[in-house]
Structure 1
Amino acid sequence: MGLVANARKGLGFAHFLYMQRVKGFDVPDRPHFDPLSTEPFIDRLRSSKLYLEFGSGGSTVVAAQLGIETITVESDRWFGRAVQAKIHPATTNTMLFIDLGLTRDWSYPVFKRQTPARRARWDEYTEAPRRHISKLGGRFPDLILVDGRFRMACALVCAQEAHRLGQSTTICVDDYGDKDWYRPLEYSLGTPELVGRMAIFSVHPDRPAPTQDVIERAKRDFR
């Protein structure tokens, strides 16, 4: 990378840190989806009894307005706190903050070399919500939004846990339509319904669960 490109990248990161830690974030009122998938997703959310989302934002706001019991996994504690302030005093949301180390916009890790310490941090992104759900007495989210980091791993772990509990669920993966690297999900979860750029997987216990080796490989991909 040339000097000019490096300088631009550094300025972009500095601006992000200023927005994150000084100015603060403006949390949207609606999910940051494409127009074709927003309303169908909100329709599904309205009928949810227990909703899990990877990545907070407008979807969290809508869920709070609807009074939906929500588990949110968030890796940017500054943005997550802004979301909490916006939905306060919503008591239906449990936000799990996961420390991925230093991150830039959209919570992409700044340092990507896979050291043992970083792998342990990254594993928490999928394992923390699994532990939380294990304390719910057999209840499992009926709607799951995968819109943060480690999307392949998040979807696979959720499907594996649903299978273990004998539960059905719907897993929505945003940005699926234009991201070829998410396609291997179909080997484990089947063919999704495509609505705009979102993929909607219907997960049932009669389908074999994703294997642990597939999940472990996916945990190393933070996209």
Structure 2
Amino acid sequence: MSDPKPSLAKAIQTQFAPTLRRDGFLGTGQRYWRVMGDQCQLVEIQGSRQGKKFAVNLGIQPIAIPLRSGVMPEPKRLREMECMFRRRLAVQKGDQWWDYQPNEPSMDAAARDACSVYEQVGKHQLEAMAESSSPIYTVTLEAFAARAFSFNGFGNTGVLMALTLAQIRKAAGNSAEARAFARIGLDEIGDRAGGSGLTAELRELLE
């Protein structure tokens, strides 16, 4: 019987997944998730369409906040692209991709290196965002409006972040801040086309 064909998914499962599971992640293949406090956090592998390289995407979704589809998030089914706060795993700012050749040693080496970057950088970024002192919960209205804050590289459009922060404040019982963040979101939309759906959601938070 011939040896099974090498695959990136297998390399991730053998070289990267054990570290993720140690940190409380569940999942298989190229998608892993965990619940920390009131967040679902994801680590998801994105292969290139051309093959021979991959990136690692990190996502954070407040569990109490609906997805853009309108449904509440289910951690087991959630995808990184649906998360409100997203970023690429990278040693420094910017995009990072791991190249590999279509053989087991090369794939394993790339997966090990990605795991190393997760341990150096991504692990701490995710943990910091789940703490009570996380900027998700503590960023002030003034800092957000002036873009004078850091979400450890996680983000989305300004309007969607304003909406999410408003929803988080409302869920925590802070209606005044919820309305204030909603106003910031409405100011950012202004007269732009295509903002009608978001406008309605933000206005609802003002009531």
Fold match (TM-score > 0.5):
no
TM-score range, shorter chain: under 0.3
Q: State the structure with more CA Rg.
A: 2
- For normalisation by structure 1, the TM-score amounts to 0.26
The higher relative CO (CA closer than 8 Å, separation ≥ 6) is in 1
